[in-house]
Structure 1
Amino acid sequence: MENLQSHGIHIPLFPIFLCLLQFSSFQFISLADDLPEKYFINCGSNANVNYTRRTFTGDTNTGYVTKGDHGSAATDRNQSVDGSSLYKTARIFKQQSWYEFEIDTSGPQLVRLHFLAFTSTTTDDLSTAIFDVSASEFLLLHNFTAKNNKSSPLIKEFFLSINFPKLRIHFTPQGSSFAFINAIEVFLSPTSFYNNGTTNSLSYPFLQTIYRVNVGGQAIKPDEDTVWRNWDQDDIYLSNPSNAKNSLFYSAKPNYVGNMSDFIAPDLVYQTAKVIDNNNSSESNNSNATWSFNVNKTASHVVRVHFCDTVSKSLDTVCFTLYINDNASLIVNSIDFVDQLAAPFFVDFSVEPDGSGILNVSIGTLSNSTDKRAYLNGLEILQVKEGFASVPVENNSKKINVAVIIGSVAGGLAVISILVIGFLFVLKRRKSKPVETYDGSPVPVFGAGSSHSRLTESTIHGSPVPDLHLGLKISFPEIQFATNNFDPRLLIGKGGFGSVYRGTLPNGKQVAVKRGARESGQGLPEFQTEIMVLSKIRHRHLVSLIGYCDERFEMILVYEYMEKGTLRDHLYNSNLPRLSWKQRLEICIGAANGLTYLHRGAAGGIIHRDVKSTNILLDQNLVAKVADFGLSKSGPQDETHVSTSVKGTLGYLDPEYFRCQQLTEKSDVYSFGVVLLEVLCARLPIDNSLPREQMNLVEWGLYCKKKGVLEEIIDPSLRGQIDSNSLRKFSDIAEKCLQEDGADRPTMSDVIWDLEYALQLQQTATRREPHEDTTTGSSALILPDVQRFPSLSTTTIDRDDILMFTNDFSSTTGDEIFSQLRVNDAR
């Protein structure tokens, strides 16, 4: 079917997100052929306006009119906009105000905001307005101004996952400025981002439309689209116009099959295309057509690519390649998606940020294809938004109500009485239980969020959490202060669980703040597990948890900050100094010590379950620490296995665990073996850009070792560094870890000893005379392959446990273990 090829670290997730959808709570709903009827609001007017096949209702006489400050109506003094009067009125707010809408059906709501900065008859120049817009807890626009939109309207479109009976859209002026809005649309999203039987869209709670392009055709206006979308003409984004030509298909209607319909894209998108035709070309037939877009360089994006094969004479003849950012490619053949010609289909990609601020989409013909053509019909790019707004304080009452005052006083007295009783109860308990920790964190003053703790359900042991204060709770205001209210400029990583921000505590110490995504219930078990595991372990080679916050439905973890980022960063990022072989061995030894402590140390019987190069972090001295314990499992050390559903990361998964769903510590050993090969070869565990026999690093690495050509696939930057005996010992360790049968794999403490021996071999070779060659092909002194005595295993663990309470922490304050997580694909 499809052949996805990946290049680099940030891999679009089309072929593997099928496995991830089980974690998704953002389900999109098809509206079939029913057009939405509400809400369409004409702001600042009491008149209804017919515009693009729908009626916008004047907001003055409606039940969802603005709350708080009702604002003032404004009318365009110059009547400068031709066409509808929708943009000739606006609602102006001098203070924080909001619209309120009843939400009949929970799910993704499409919200469109219309702005036109005219000069009003009340002397307000709307182009000077600076304000924020939020919807529920989503921050839609920050420090927004429409000063460049005086002649044509600016429309901002968002998809929000709303599960509340009401949706409130707040307008908050900045400083002494004001806010305004011309029109608002709110309705349940139609068939955007849904499962149509061939592809599944990634689910996010908060998306903003950045680009929507009709490829090969004219711009499409809202009245030509089923749900009133704007589609740009593609030529302004096309980098090499001569490589592709417009193609028109004037059939009455595309052949919609399955769940496809014109709600996904209008007929006009599928009736036009850009086509590359190299059938009669004397060139090498590798010319591509590329569309380039400016995007937020720190944000993830969802790219939807639309196809409709109107160029083939029969099925299974035109086959070509689609590229996203040169990081991934997909072999496109319409027969893999639909069973007839002229039938629309689409493919979704999740594209991680690469720091360039440019997103490229390309198509190219295949030299081995019978029909050397390629086509593209449409493109949509949506930004995955991360901004969340504090719920504004809502004070609807403008009159002093005596009954309310009396009720408030009575209620206050009741609360004080309850607090006194509670205080006496706590004192009584403390006398009998002096070690109890009390959490004195204040309830945040930011308004209507719930401060109910989410950590009251279950732990990794499956029992209720007995006490999660643990001296680790941090209030939400403290975290907001540390991260400058989650300033996007402090974003240092993101993943399925949420985003990671660099933060600074009042004492100047840097921390890493991992904020869980706002999908209802998403990640809660991982959040609980991480706290329970990290709260009871301290080790030099395990990332320290500084604190957590579970207020207002937040899931926030605060870690020590790891200045050098992830191990993977240093293996693949060409902008970072290359790690020497000695450094790599020391990092592997450190990570193995951390895992050994989890398995057999004072922590006792914890299986990490997601060992990979992005979960091995490096501090400023390149000391390795294992991170991310959200998938960890705990159990008695004498238990042979834990039966559980399979979780982990493709490429690192233990095949025995995958087959039997029985988890043991040897599953971590297998994953660590993959990391060892990754360290040696500096390549991804799964790389679809390589020939089939080389795609899987484990299979290819073990094959090369068996053939005696392992040195040919090591990281080129290591050639000339590795002693042949050290390489032989290291590869033997990796091979042992990667045995199919878990019983044949070593323990992590055995792995430590073997790695230390490989390091000793390397150091012995390095201390030889300077003129001697130490490459893998040198005639190094062959040392015996010393077998480890069983008693040494216990010695290593005991020694490491002792170090944990002496060398690692004897001179370290609680604040000094405060720093972490600069990861690009943290969960």
Structure 2
Amino acid sequence: MANSINKKLYTKITLLSLFLLLCPLVANSYNPIYNLAINCGSSTNTTSLDNRIWIGDNIDNINLFSFIEPKTTNPSFKTSPNSLSNTQIPFTTARVSLSNFTYSFSNIITNSPVFIRLHFYPTLYQNFEPTNAVFSVKVNNNNFSLLKNFNPSLWLNDANEEKITKEYCIQIKQNENLNITFIPNNINTSNVYYAFINGIEVVSMPSFLYYTNLDDTNYHFKFIGSDNTEYQIRNDKALEMVYRVNVGANQVPPSNDTGMFRDWKNDFPLYLEKEYPLSVSSDFGEHLNYLKNTVPNYTAPEVVYLTARSYGMNVTVDYNVTWNFEVDSNFTYMKMLM
């Protein structure tokens, strides 16, 4: 899914109600077959605060990935942000280039869908201004355009936000390399545009976590605002994660996910807009009962199921809760309530 540089195209989507779904779960979380985190622009392997190892892209990791760029008078270079205040891995270094460059992951990635996460810290790198970072990102010989005319600095949601992560799901075909190519915008020759990247994650995921299992007649999704029309998500499509929110509790960081390093944001104060009357954050405080093993527990961390927005058992007045999310009116969205 491509993202335009013009964020003004955005409109608002409002969810008037959200229900907690206590799904029956199984006992084991997911253990990814393939899990690679790259600290772009780093010459060494580094360990983040959550003890995850990030591989440097300047060392001999040919068995994991390769860095490819065409012969050019403007080769890419590694650098650090001019300001490193409160910056953590993978945002302490970057790969910056005026020309195309590609990260190629070998076909040791099995025939399965993967998460691709692209981490950006839009700030000043040497003499490269954030406003001139305008580029596209494509995968697998232009089969998918993940980002188009993208400027990370325009996608910061508030004044306190400094970094942005874009997350996608794509299906890797058997014996196919995963190639992620960064392409600076060269349409307007009056400006010198460049591409940059701070960190890349490639993590395998269960085959039918988000894609439809065509052999299961009960496995389907529904469009927001539709007449309950069922929709199949075939694995020849690339998916983009827009919001992942834990309702009624704090953020669940990637290290506390079920093995796929997903980040679950807290709903307040970023998205919770209206509460009539004031809702409370409820914590059920006990572990789930696992029944029938019909839904795997890697679907979401247990805390996501055990917290909610609630008005108690004896509500006698009408109420609603509103979460406000910005979305692009050019796309169609699906909701998954947990």
The equivalent of 2:41 in structure 1 is: 44
| Partner residue of 2:257 out of 207, 215, 225 | 225
The equivalent of 2:194 in structure 1 is: 178
Equivalent residues of 1:115, 1:154 under 8 A apart: yes
| Partner residue of 1:141 out of 130, 144, 147 | 147
Give, in angstroms, the shift of residue 237 of structure 1: 2.7
Equivalent residues of 2:276, 2:320 under 8 A apart: no
- Distance across 2 between alignment mates of 1:262 and 1:268: 11
TM-score (norm 2): 0.72
Match of 2:58, SS state, is: coil
More helix by share: 1
2:244 pairs with 1:234 = no
The equivalent of 2:209 in structure 1 is: 192
The equivalent of 2:94 in structure 1 is: 90
The equivalent of 2:328 in structure 1 is: 296
2:32 pairs with 1:35 = yes
Cα 1:35–1:160 change in 2 (3 A) is: closer
More strand by share: 2
Match of 1:211, SS state, is: coil
CA deviation digits over 1:716-745, x for unaligned, max 9? Answer: xxxxxxxxxxxxxxxxxxxxxxxxxxxxxx
Give, in angstroms, the shift of residue 80 of structure 1: 2.0
Equivalent residues of 2:35, 2:202 under 8 A apart: yes
Map 1:210-609 to 2 at 5 A: 210-226=242-258, 227-235=260-268, 236-243=270-277, 244-252=279-287, 255=290, 257-277=292-312, 279-281=314-316, 283=317, 286-306=318-338
CA deviation digits over 1:671-725, x for unaligned, max 9? Answer: xxxxxxxxxxxxxxxxxxxxxxxxxxxxxxxxxxxxxxxxxxxxxxxxxxxxxxx
Equivalent residues of 2:104, 2:177 under 8 A apart: yes
Give, in angstroms, the shift of residue 278 of structure 1: 6.2
Cα 1:237–1:257 change in 2 (3 A) is: farther
Give, in angstroms, the shift of residue 287 of structure 1: 3.0
Match of 1:268, SS state, is: helix
- Distance across 1 between alignment mates of 2:181 and 2:172: 15
The amino acid that maps onto 1:249 is: F
Match of 1:88, SS state, is: coil
Equivalent residues of 1:93, 1:178 under 8 A apart: yes
Equivalent residues of 1:254, 1:270 under 8 A apart: no
Match of 1:263, SS state, is: helix
Q: CA RMSD for the aligned pairs?
A: 2.7
CA deviation digits over 1:197-226, x for unaligned, max 9? Answer: 964343141111111111111122222222
- Distance across 2 between alignment mates of 1:247 and 1:256: 23
- Distance across 2 between alignment mates of 1:232 and 1:95: 35
Equivalent residues of 2:34, 2:204 under 8 A apart: no
Equivalent residues of 1:276, 1:289 under 8 A apart: no
The equivalent of 1:162 in structure 2 is: 172
Cα 1:221–1:33 change in 2 (3 A) is: closer
Match of 2:167, SS state, is: strand
| Structure 2 alignment gaps of length 5 or more | 1-27, 187-191, 222-231
Give, in angstroms, the shift of residue 135 of structure 1: 1.1
Give, in angstroms, the shift of residue 259 of structure 1: 4.5
The amino acid that maps onto 1:288 is: N
The equivalent of 2:4 in structure 1 is: none
| Partner residue of 2:111 out of 106, 112, 119 | 106
The equivalent of 1:65 in structure 2 is: 66
| Structure 1 alignment gaps of length 5 or more | 1-30, 307-827
Percentage of pairs with the same residue: 27
The equivalent of 1:203 in structure 2 is: 233
The amino acid that maps onto 2:58 is: T
CA deviation digits over 1:313-336, x for unaligned, max 9? Answer: xxxxxxxxxxxxxxxxxxxxxxxx
| Partner residue of 1:132 out of 120, 131, 136 | 136
Map 1:611-760 to 2 at 5 A: none
Cα 1:93–1:290 change in 2 (3 A) is: same
Cα 1:288–1:115 change in 2 (3 A) is: same
CA deviation digits over 1:133-180, x for unaligned, max 9? Answer: 111211011111122559632100011123151111010001231100
Equivalent residues of 1:254, 1:267 under 8 A apart: no
CA deviation digits over 1:519-557, x for unaligned, max 9? Answer: xxxxxxxxxxxxxxxxxxxxxxxxxxxxxxxxxxxxxxx
The amino acid that maps onto 2:47 is: N
Equivalent residues of 1:81, 1:152 under 8 A apart: no
Give, in angstroms, the shift of residue 271 of structure 1: 1.7
Give, in angstroms, the shift of residue 129 of structure 1: 0.8
Cα 1:90–1:257 change in 2 (3 A) is: farther
- Distance across 1 between alignment mates of 2:134 and 2:148: 9
Cα 1:108–1:181 change in 2 (3 A) is: same
The amino acid that maps onto 2:68 is: K
- Distance across 2 between alignment mates of 1:126 and 1:72: 16
Map 1:110-121 to 2 at 5 A: 110-120=115-125
Cα 1:81–1:276 change in 2 (3 A) is: same
Q: Which structure ranks higher in relative contact order (CA pairs < 8 Å, sequence separation ≥ 6)?
A: 2
The amino acid that maps onto 2:286 is: S
Greater shift after overlay, 290-299 or 194-203?
Answer: 194-203
Q: Which has the larger radius of gyration?
A: 1
Equivalent residues of 2:34, 2:202 under 8 A apart: no
- Distance across 2 between alignment mates of 1:229 and 1:199: 22
The amino acid that maps onto 1:214 is: N
Equivalent residues of 2:275, 2:319 under 8 A apart: no
Give, in angstroms, the shift of residue 264 of structure 1: 1.1
Equivalent residues of 2:249, 2:281 under 8 A apart: yes
The equivalent of 1:55 in structure 2 is: 53
- Distance across 2 between alignment mates of 1:154 and 1:254: 36
Cα 1:81–1:146 change in 2 (3 A) is: farther
- Distance across 2 between alignment mates of 1:151 and 1:234: 16
The equivalent of 1:14 in structure 2 is: none
Cα 1:280–1:49 change in 2 (3 A) is: same
TM-score (norm 1): 0.31
The amino acid that maps onto 1:50 is: T
Equivalent residues of 2:250, 2:266 under 8 A apart: yes
Match of 2:328, SS state, is: coil
Equivalent residues of 2:275, 2:320 under 8 A apart: no
Give, in angstroms, the shift of residue 100 of structure 1: 0.5
- Distance across 1 between alignment mates of 2:255 and 2:111: 27
- Distance across 1 between alignment mates of 2:319 and 2:162: 38
